[in-house]
Structure 1
């Protein structure tokens, strides 16, 4: 049975495009007002996250952090807290993920190994046999460990860039229409400036691991990956 997966296009629409449009265009008093626009804009990612949870019936720690992030953003806006807390919050979420990935390096289940080196994607039996035959087990474990460090660094990049972007763009007092507009602009810009570069870095890490598997085992792609 094929596992149901989230639709990336809908994720962008509900989590980025629609909230940003509402915050930037409907925050004036002649429309929804600053509070109304903030509440409605944040309702979209919350509703989409809840729908995904019910639909796929899978707990996702990353999704939980995203849910908490939305609630914190709403709290900062509605309680009219200093905008420095928004920058801290933006940096905190990916920072926590990065710390978790880094710590996993010293456990039996590094995140990269769990994500890539598993029997749902790869022919582990064949790969492990070849690694043993070629005496490459220790080298491959070092490869996975280094890849895990690199994977953690992508979240450090996101954390720093989120803080810089929030500090640079969101300068108006929380609870104002200007704050909402800046928040919407920040959300919109975070995708091309942070999310896409982070995804490219992650794809580079996965490609590196695949190349190392191929080099250390002399297996072809058809032998490495399981047919879907």
Structure 2
């Protein structure tokens, strides 16, 4: 009985507003406003700013007892940013790092489709949201299972392309904004500005693309099964 309860209890959802403040707003304010010598200074300001997303990632791991692949990359991205700044490497490495993280995710998503286990299916076809057993049974009865798999693979390719978009935009944004040498107040300020702008310039368009993919998957399920949106939802 206890195993059943554990498997059917959904994980606690993260507080999106809290994530936004800890990962973007607070670090950006510290880097842009408190990194000058009269306040925290460049090194201390950078360390304090990066401590917020790192602390949030550790807190989230302790709370959920899990760290998925994308969260792990986000955690590593923060540490790499700190390393580039503290060791005063060329700003070119920052642009490369910014582009590399979503590029790695996109490559994993793309590869998952070739191995017949598209990551999109795990991300969107959630048993807490959809009646997956009913959907798969209806697909099999209608003889549309293979067609459904092809459609999901197509959506998986689109998902990979969204990470390609993020990778390109991250590189352009980093090259455009962060031009000052590492270890300077100007670098910290520009890093904060880049972090702040990355949300409306990159995250929001990527989120819109994700909603578009979800809408496409729902339309495919409805067409191939004949189920209505309400019938495929797991409302219980």
Q: TM-score, normalised by structure 1?
A: 0.96
**Secondary structure in structure 1 of the residue aligned to 2:222:** helix
| 1:15-37, Cα deviation, whole Å (9 max, x unpaired) | 00000000000111111111110
* Count of residue correspondences: 228
Counterpart in 2 of 1:90? 98
Contact 2:53–2:78 (8 Å) recurs in 1: yes
Counterpart in 2 of 1:20? 28
Counterpart in 2 of 1:51? 59
Q: Name which of structure 1's ranges 211-220 and 110-119 shifts more when overlaid on structure 2.
A: 110-119
CA distance in 2, matches of 1:223, 1:126: 9
Contact 2:10–2:128 (8 Å) recurs in 1: no
CA distance in 2, matches of 1:131, 1:185: 49
CA distance in 2, matches of 1:57, 1:219: 36
1:193 aligns with 2:201: yes
- Identify the match of residue 67 of structure 1 among 75, 93, 96: 75
Counterpart in 2 of 1:205? 213
Counterpart in 2 of 1:179? 187
Counterpart in 1 of 2:150? 142
Q: Name which of structure 1's ranges 177-186 and 133-142 shifts more when overlaid on structure 2.
A: 133-142
**Secondary structure in structure 1 of the residue aligned to 2:38:** coil
1:11 aligns with 2:19: yes
Counterpart in 1 of 2:4? none
Contact 2:109–2:160 (8 Å) recurs in 1: yes
CA distance in 2, matches of 1:90, 1:2: 32
Counterpart in 1 of 2:131? 123
**Secondary structure in structure 1 of the residue aligned to 2:235:** coil
Q: Name which of structure 1's ranges 63-72 and 186-195 shifts more when overlaid on structure 2.
A: 63-72
- Offset, 1:118: 4.5
- Offset, 1:226: 0.9
CA distance in 2, matches of 1:129, 1:45: 43
Q: Where does the alignment leave 5 or more consecutive residues of structure 1 unmatched?
A: none
1:221 aligns with 2:234: no
- Offset, 1:124: 2.3
1:40 aligns with 2:38: no
